Amino acid sequence: SSCAAMSFVARLGRVLESPAFRHHGCCGCCRVDGACGVAYAATACLTPLVASMSLGFTSPALDTMKGRTQGASAVPAELVVFGRGGGADDEAASLFSSLVNVGALVGALSGGWLCKQAGRCNSLRLAAVLIGACWWWVALATSALDLCLARVFMGLGVGLQSVATPTFIAEVSPPALRGTLGTMNAGAILMGVMVVDFLGGSILRAGAEGEFCAWRKLACFVAVCAVVLLGATTVLPEPSRARRILGERSPETVAVEATVQDDGVRAVPGMAWTVLAGLVPMVWQQLSGVNAVIFFGQSILQAGGVGGANLLGVGVIAVQLAGIVLAASIIEVLGRRPLLLGSCMGMAVGAGSLAFFLWLPRPPAVGVVGALCVYVLAFSLGLGPVPWLLLPELDLPKKVRVTLASIATAANWACSFAVTGPPLVCLQSVCGLPGVFAVFSGICALGTVLIALLVPETKERRRRQGLERRFTFNLSPRGSLRGALSVS
């Protein structure tokens, strides 16, 4: 079936490129560009779909890997890796969950350079190879060390694709559909999390009553998906230089790119604030704490006394996916900035409500699930998809834009490690689970203020004007950049 699907995509691309489908309008654009752009963007989204399974894997599998069960039966010995050495293995289990972020940080830092040297498509193929090989490693691993090493190398592929995929989608998407197609990246991430959560929590189970996750089979499933992904990327063309330049640049972009020389990039007015406008949403995407829900969603529901945590965890992710679909339909109408602001405010309310319900002696199941749904729905409407769209749309010189994409994505993964690894464990040991979400609520509220001050609207691609209306800058003789904030 995978071969048939790849063959269909290839035939579709050839048909859309045939003269019969070409139509030149008054703007000089042709229909083939838009049609093929949509098809290629959809195919590229298979990469984050498979990569995100690395994030959702621990939610259904980690308790079984630690030898913990809510029933009377003991976990089969071949499924227990972290439950043999007491506290040391508990620390190893925490590292197994979070080390994918460390690998992703390194992969993201090198992703910009690799995309420029080897191309976007080759970067996606390398990511598929790394992810697939490491999932076979996980399926066969028998020690905590093997599993942790596999997660680090798996993270390299995850981080690499997190730079290459949004860049590829932005370059092949028609300008009028860039926002809508850009949300497909976030949608694919959630789809991958939901698939692995559902399979690991309800289908691939072990034990007499299915009380354990058959995580080795789940790892094999993801490895097969990576093989299919590698085959699908063979039909993707490398975005041509003409496609990235002709018809895609505003006059302001031409003026800015004129400052780019082979030996470096000259400072342009407003560049520092423009960089912050792209960096802050990427950092707050993870500081908001959403990956803690993705990694440990079922454990959070169990801590709240919610029965049927496996299926409810999948339901929470489904709500988040529905939010992505809604965001795709309104992002070109409302714009990027309003969605970001509404998202941060909604997440602050959701996280604060969840902290309150978990603080009660008997947390109400309806309240816990409802607050969690508000939290993830607000995320999926703004902070989920929009930060990935801002980076290509901010009016920066090309070299700066590619470098910023790598730095911002690496910062994103570093913050993901903070909210899923040892820092989260320390915070929870001091404040408890209610305190953790109270902190997340405060961080989201602070993010609302920073985004209101820093981030312009880029929907109409009036990026430079939008920044200059809000900030005034002077370049001193020594080259230091001084900015004064003005109220728009």
Q: Which one, of 291, 316, 320, lies nearest residue 412 by Cα?
A: 291
* Fold entry, domain 34-69+76-247: Growth Hormone; Chain: A; (1.20.1250)
d(CA 254, CA 243): 15
| Structural tokens at position 433 | 């689970």
Q: At what angle do helices 422-454 and 336-359 cross, to 10 degrees?
A: 140
Q: Of the CATH numbers 1.20.1250.20, 2.70.98.60, 1.20.1440.60, 2.40.30.170, which one belongs to the domain with range 270-458? A: 1.20.1250.20
What are the sequence ranges of the domains in the chain? 34-69+76-247, 270-458
Per-residue pLDDT 10s for the chain (488 aa) are 445 444 544 444 444 444 433 333 333 333 335 667 788 888 899 999 999 998 889 888 888 888 876 665 788 888 888 866 444 566 788 788 888 989 999 999 888 888 888 888 999 999 999 999 999 999 999 888 899 999 999 999 999 999 899 888 888 877 777 777 778 888 888 889 889 988 988 889 888 777 888 999 999 999 999 999 999 988 888 875 434 443 444 444 444 344 333 334 444 456 778 888 888 999 999 899 888 887 777 677 777 677 666 667 677 778 888 888 888 888 888 888 899 999 999 999 999 999 999 898 888 888 888 898 899 999 989 998 888 877 777 766 666 777 777 888 888 888 888 888 788 878 888 888 889 999 999 999 999 999 999 888 876 654 344 344 444 333 333 333 333 333 33
Domain 34-69+76-247 and domain 270-458, same fold? Reply is: yes
Yes or no: say if 385 and 182 are a contact pair by the CB < 8 Å rule.
yes
How long is the chain?
488
Instruction: Tell how far CA 81 is from the center of its chain.
Output: 28
Using only the alpha carbons of the chain, give its radius of gyration: 23
CA distance 332 to 459: 7
